[in-house]
Structure 1
Amino acid sequence: MPRRVRIRYTNKTDRKTPHERLSHVGGLNPDVKPWKRSIDQVVKDLESAEWELYVEENGRRVDVVWATHKGHNYLKTTADDTQPDSILPLLAECPR
């Protein structure tokens, strides 16, 4: 059974294209310890069905999926079309 995890934080790159903007995502484990993973690792986790990811905004949960644009894997919500611009870019920075 996949681990269902909420993304609460992101780390952003200095890249201007939305498909390359995020480098890491993170959140909190059930024991409230933070977790942080690279986008490449998260894509592997989603491909293998080990994790299911979502974001939550004002009580509304939206699933996070991976996609490819010009050979580059990226994350987006199911509410996004091609551009990953609805919720993920708005999250706070991952704690170090």
Structure 2
Amino acid sequence: MAIMKRVTCITRTNLQGAHERIQALGGVNADGTRWHRSQADVASDINSGRCDYYVEQPGGHRVILVVARSSTGYVYVKTQADGELPNNLLSLPDCR
């Protein structure tokens, strides 16, 4: 079973494309240390099965991240379609 990591923040880009707005994702490990990974590394972790990532909504509802590809071939991560608005990742605070 893959390690599960909760995403609690993102690093944004200045790009306008919806799939290009996130540069990196971050969170806190079980031991309290912070982690910060590029979007490409997170996608690689998910594809290889090394690690699964999720965001947590109020009430403990977890939404899993999946790897997607834009029409131009850009690989990025997004949350599974869950009917929640706004976008689960873009609504996270900036990593500091």
Shared fold per TM-score greater than 0.5: yes
Partner of 1:21: 21
Instruction: Give the aligned residue type for 1:40.
Output: A
In the TM superposition, residue 71 of structure 1 has moved relative to its aligned partner by 0.7
Percentage of pairs with the same residue: 36
The 4+ residue runs of structure 1 with deviation greater than 3 A are none
For residues 54 and 24 of structure 1, the distance between their equivalents in structure 2, rounded to whole angstroms, comes to 14
Aligned twin of 1:52? 52
Give the aligned partner of residue 39 of structure 1: 39
TM-superposed CA distance for 1:94, in Å, is: 1.0
Whichever residue aligns with residue 62 of structure 1, its letter is: V
Structure 1, unmatched stretches of 5+, are none
- Structure 2 distance, partners of 1:79, 1:30, is 27
Structure 2 counterpart SS, 1:37 = strand
Structure-to-structure mapping, 1:45-84, within 5 angstroms: 45-58=45-58, 59-69=60-70, 70-79=72-81
Which residue does the alignment assign to 1:92? 93
Number of positions where the alignment pairs a residue of Structure 1 with one of Structure 2: 92
- Taking structure 2 as the reference length, the TM-score comes to 0.90
Task: Give the whole-Å Cα distance in 2 for the aligned partners of 1:12 and 1:35.
Answer: 16
Output the TM-score relative to the length of structure 1: 0.90
1:5 is displaced (CA, Å) by 0.7
Q: How far, CA to CA, are the matches of 1:43 and 1:75 in structure 2?
A: 6
Matched to 1:51, the amino acid is C
The RMSD of aligned alpha carbons is 1.4
